[in-house]
Amino acid sequence: MSTRILAGIKVLDLTNVLSGPFTSLHLALLGAEVIKVENPKDGDLARKLGILPALNKRLMGTSFLAQNCNKKSITLNTKSAEGKAIFLRMAKDADVVVENFRPGVMDRLGIGYKTLAGYNPRLVYCAISGFGQTGPDALFPAYDQIIQGLSGEMAVNGDERLSPLRTGFPVCDTVGGLNAAFAVMAALFHRERTGEGQFIDVALLDSIMPLMGWVAANLLIGKQQPVLMGNDNFTAAPSGTFRTADGFINIAANKQEQWEAVCDVLGLPELKKDPRFEERDTRKKNRKALTPLLEEKLVTKPTAAWVTELNDSDVPSGAILGLEEALRQPQVVHRDVLKKVPLTGFGDIEVFGLTAQFEKTPGAVDTPPPELGEHNADIYAALGIPAAEQAELKAKGVI
């Protein structure tokens, strides 16, 4: 049986909603023991978020189910003196703490990094926030949409008819979570070499900006403001979305030889010598004239036919799928991107597994997202808290 990369690593996860849970999900898929520490009343807010009211009432909303497999859940009121004491006991032998509160919250609770590091200097502590732990905006509230707007990401989407335009999924939360998971892994690697833990400050605003690297480079280095181009690719032409007989096709003819192949496949060899389109940079400037000429041919056949012909000529192209069709396409099925896991009282649900495929240490989805407090008895017993004391703590609202 293969060993998981993070087998033996214990993570205390105090995060909510998306960015933090997405971080700890990747650690859990790699084999870490992730203990989700939730408030006793209703836990992670994502437990109530989803389109199925029955699951929301169970505190197992679809938003929660999406990124909490392989984790354990305990309830703990860290605002209480007893809850704080229990958390400190847990932190003594933890490897990682992940939280996404506003800066200063954990310190006010008495369980911030400096306190925890005094008990456990090997601890890797990752704090995820909208704007980071310092700076003029550090204490402002932040959700994904706020960061999309402040990062410039919304301003570079869309075209002259529709802008600003929000990305259709929480890209800033998700990328922030990936950034934090990467940072935790790097800090654990550093600890292997030095024995030192450390504090990691991850900001959603910082995390999204490098993803716009090419657009930003055009501004920072080339002094060119972003141009709203909708589905066109600013680096080349023809590179974007085009009409066909039954819908649309993506074509990415980024190289000169690919452009020439497009002309041959579409039966438009004369365009190769047209002075408006012959050179890459002039094609880009004249894309509005080029697109109708290409679409006049493309609308004579369905998308699937053009995809085959263009790809056979080494021109990258593809259909534009709806989400369900995308999830069921043969390549995604072959790659085993979706995993089935049983949810009590509901049946099998499909979730994403670890999409990096390790040859020797593969990740896996082993257990479904936990019910709120599902692992209280086991984890608190292992901490030396007997059942009778657990009952007392529950009655007092500590767990």
Active site residues: 173
- Residue 329 DSSP SS3: coil
Cis peptide before 21 (omega within 30 of 0): no
Show the CA angle centred on residue 116, arms to residues 391 and 94, nearest 5°: 65
Can you tell me the distance from the alpha carbon of 237 to that of 274, in angstroms, rounded to the nearest whole number? Answer: 14
> What are the distances in angstroms from CA 158 to CA 166, 167, 209, 227?
9, 10, 18, 10
Pick from 164, 181, 130: which is nearest to 26 by CA? 181
Pick from 306, 398, 366, 334: which is nearest to 85 by CA? 398
Show the CA angle centred on residue 116, arms to residues 112 and 119, nearest 5°: 160
Tokens 């438009």, located at residue:
268
Can you tell me the distance from the alpha carbon of 40 to that of 395, in angstroms, rounded to the nearest whole number? Answer: 11
Tokens 């039966």, located at residue:
267
> What are the distances in angstroms from CA 155 to CA 159, 163, 167, 227?
10, 6, 11, 10
Give the phi and the psi of residue 272 in degrees, each rounded to 5. Answer: -65, -30
Query: Residue 71 is inside which H or E element, if any?
Result: strand 71-75
Can you tell me the distance from the alpha carbon of 116 to that of 118, in angstroms, rounded to the nearest whole number? Answer: 5
- Residue 202 DSSP SS3: strand
User: CB–CB of 10/37 below 8 Å?
Assistant: no
Can you tell me the distance from the alpha carbon of 367 to that of 340, in angstroms, rounded to the nearest whole number? Answer: 10
- Residue 127 DSSP SS3: strand
- Residue 96 DSSP SS3: strand
Tokens of 95: 């490897």
Give the phi and the psi of residue 2 in degrees, each rounded to 5. Answer: -70, 150
